[in-house]
Amino acid sequence: MQPLPDADPSPHQSITRISGQLRSPRRLELTEYLLEYVAGEDAEIRKTHFFGGRYENIYLDRTVHPTLDQIVKEAQFLAAGLLHVAAHDLAVGFWLNIMPPGSSTTLHRHDDMDELLSAVFYLMAPAGSGCLEIHEPGQVHKIEPIEGDFLFFSPQLPHAVSENQSQLTRFSIAMNFGPRHHVG
């Protein structure tokens, strides 16, 4: 296994930020492709959590675009390093979150199943497009998104995304990692 890239656990020990390897032109290309794909009538997608006039979670197959598959594989590798397990022993579930101006995501957790770690990857995160708010006893960490970064955190931590006050759409990929259940 390759060593983990430099991870920044500060200033909050329960949150780890890692810069992804995907560069800006490819993020923009993927964002444009996914927006078109999601809007298409033939797209094999599932949408859930309809709040405020939008679906918060948009699920699709990672193979719809090679760059999407690359992001999910990189996240799985990074999560495995943070959890000290082999990447092939981790299952990953992911969904798109498209937040137009004025949108926010309500307080929630990801601990309904056997999740070990949650993450978000920022494809497009214009200034003012909303902070990730992680709630811990007695404090709320407000974390500004940075395009191309992953944020990893415990799925048990309640979290929300503040209102997108920019004039542009924020586009992220949320993920959960849990144990892969091997048959046999």
Residue extents of the structural domains in the chain: 15-179
88-129 pLDDT tens trace: 999 999 988 888 999 888 888 777 778 899 999 999 999 999
Alpha-carbon span 19 to 38, nearest angstrom: 26
Average pLDDT for 137-143: 91
Contact 65, 30 (CB under 8 A): yes
Contact 94, 177 (CB under 8 A): no
C-alpha pair distances (Å), 156 with each of 53, 135, 160: 27, 10, 13
Residues above pLDDT 70, as percent of the chain = 88
Tokens standing for residue 139: 């404090």
Looking at domain 15-179, does it have CATH number 2.60.120.620? yes
Q: What is the pLDDT of residue 42?
A: 64
Tokens standing for residue 168: 């542009």
Strand partners, 50: 55
Average pLDDT for 46-61: 73
Q: Give start and end residues of each alpha helix (H) in 40-122.
A: 66-83
C-alpha pair distances (Å), 125 with each of 51, 62, 178: 20, 21, 27
Average pLDDT for 158-170: 93
| Mean pLDDT for all residues in the chain | 84
Is the model more confident about 166 or about 44? 166
Lowest-confidence pick of 48-62, 71-85, 122-136: 48-62
Q: How many beta carbons lie within 10 A of that of residue 132, not counting itself?
A: 21
Average pLDDT for 18-40: 85
